[in-house]
Amino acid sequence: MKSTFQAYYTKSQPILDYMVSRLRPKPHCRMLEPCAGDGVLVDAVLSAQGDIDVDAYEFNPAAAQGLLSKYGNTSRVHVTQSDTLLDPNLLLKMNMGGYYDFAIANPPYGAWQEYEKRKGLKSLYPGLYVRETYALFLYQSLHLLRPGGRLVFIIPDTYLNLHMHTALRHSLLTDSCIESIALFPSSFFPGVNFGYSNLSIVTLRRITPADGIRENQIEVSWGYEKVEELVSGAGCVNRMVVIQGDLLDAIDHALFLSENRDLTSLVSSADVRVGDIADCVTGIYSGNDKVFLRVLSNEIRNGSKYQAITPDTVYCGDMPSLKGLPGRECFIPIVKGGGVRFIKPDLWFLDWSVDAVRHYMTDKKARFQNPTFYFRKGIAIPMVSSTNVTASLMEKRLFDQSIVGVFPHEEKYLYYLLGFCNTTVCTSLLRVINPSANNSANYVKKLPFVAPSSRQLTHVDGMVNRILADVRKSGGCRENDIKELNATFEHIYLKRKSDGEPEDVTTSLHAEVDPRRRHRPRISTEFCPIKRQ
């Protein structure tokens, strides 16, 4: 059952101490706790500053009743049982330009929102990713602050770089001065260990109008080994200062961290990206795979739930029509997810009959998306990879929505990109851009593209042709070939400036690059904002 509340209460004393120290509560002021839970953050603030008025909101009726019982004898804490994000009193205060001097919270992460509620949230918080509740609480609380008001939140670190949080980042960077961001493992939080992200504590100050925002310096720290280091600052901790204006100028306003300075520098300074020289798109979804999808054998992984293909129903002719195929031979090979390098065997087949294609075009659940790229020669990258990014060659095949199809504008770069996307350099760059294992089209587009010299292009084409021949013959790649490919792209991408290698970048690649993208951010080399297209 999906949780409506998804609450994780703050029980770590060092985390509480750190958050209150960053909040710096003052007497005779008013503070908001938008999702008060059992009141542990309220207690921590009151212990540091007893002369402060607190509005504690809580959606969960049982938790709200507990708060009413707990604070019933004090006039300092005002408890309201309400859906904070939709509360009309709070929405009015937002529209009035703020009300509170302080806000502190540990908001729910990933709480389930009913579909009707999502519609209402989208109208109230346009541009925000409403399925992630912590983003809405952060945005709302920021805009409930008076100018100069301070906010301290503990939230997952996904707001720093995920594409879906672009609008949230823009609001944080234009409506506040971000003072600090502390990043640490989710295991520091008692009873919590997220597989998809770490945690962060963000401290900011509301600024209206936005004077001085661009020159504001953001302190970012990470690498904590013990939770006590948050307060003491001891231990092996990485620290740097980021200029807020440089984040505003970065594409998607994203903040990227990596211990590899060469990688972060490359992501930061690239003038050309994969999205500049190739189309990156996702593929088709039938709307009902159990009906329209066939598998080569039920022994194939995840194949037991699908009908096995009948060989005489597989289409073997030339380029099929996008309107479908008449007759019995109407099943087309389709590329699905799964980490296979260079060539994926035809294991899955999709019904491409005239009636089936009509269904894909009209059914509400189906996605007949990017059809102009169906059956074209390109590269298939699974959207989810466990360790390393993998890529395989596509030709005269379909690809489904779990695949990012990469189609170079110039065919001469097809094998070069295919080789690159199977290297450790590509994996490392994607993990800088997006630390999760999600390789969506938006992130693949942002990969730096280093145009090879003519000699390098010929060398890579030769290697990839040899690897493809081996895969077709034996079904796998030789380890020495993969090592050589990794070394070649490490040289092209990371060592070209140190050894004087001529880059031989064609004029056509740079002709449409905005001159503003030559600007280099004023930050330490560990920080990597991607320049705006």
Residues 329 and 222 in one domain: no
Residue 3 lies in a domain: no
In a domain, residue 183? The reply is yes
C-alpha–C-alpha distance, residues 332 and 345, integer Å: 13
Residues 213, 351 within the same domain: no
The pLDDT of residue 397 is: 92
pLDDT for the residue 438 = 76
Report yes or no on whether pTM surpasses 0.75: no
Domain span holding position 492: 276-512
Residue 526 inside a domain? The answer is no
Provide the CATH number for the domain around residue 195.
3.40.50.150
**Among 229, 247, 269, residue at a domain's last position:** 269
425 and 461 fall within a common domain: yes
Same domain, 52 and 190: yes
Q: Residue 425: inside a domain, yes or no?
A: yes
**Same domain (yes/no): 263, 345:** no
Residues 233, 197 contacting (CB under 8 angstroms): no
- Give the 3-state secondary structure of residue 323: coil
Q: What integer pLDDT is reported at residue 132 of this predicted model?
A: 85
Indicate the residue among 227, 247, 269 that finishes a domain.
Answer: 269
Q: Please, what's the b/e burial string for 434-463 (b: 16 or more CB within 10 A of its CB; e: otherwise)?
A: bbbbebbbbbbbbbbbbbbeeebbebbbeb
List of long-range contacts for 476-481, beta carbons under 8 Å, 24+ apart: 477/341, 477/342
Q: Do 448 and 399 share a domain, yes or no?
A: yes
> Is residue 87 located within the same domain as residue 225?
yes
Q: Are residues 240 and 308 in the same domain?
A: no
Give me the average pLDDT of each 10-residue run along the chain (533 residues): 48 90 96 95 94 96 95 92 95 93 91 79 90 92 96 92 89 95 81 62 88 89 86 75 86 74 76 94 95 92 91 90 92 90 93 96 95 95 85 93 96 97 93 79 92 95 95 87 94 68 37 35 44 45
- Count of structural domains within the chain: 2
106 plus 207 within the same structural domain: yes
Shared-domain flag, residues 216 and 285: no
Residue 4 belongs to a domain:
no
288 within a domain of the structure (yes/no): yes
Output phi, psi for 352, to 5 deg: -120, 30
Dihedral class, residue 219 (left if φ above 0, else alpha if ψ from -120 to 50, else beta): beta
In this structure, are 264 and 282 located in the same domain? no
Q: Are residues 366 and 478 in the same domain?
A: yes
Element (H, E) at 447: none
Is residue 519 in some structural domain?
no
Q: Is residue 533 part of a domain?
A: no
Q: What is the pLDDT of residue 73?
A: 86
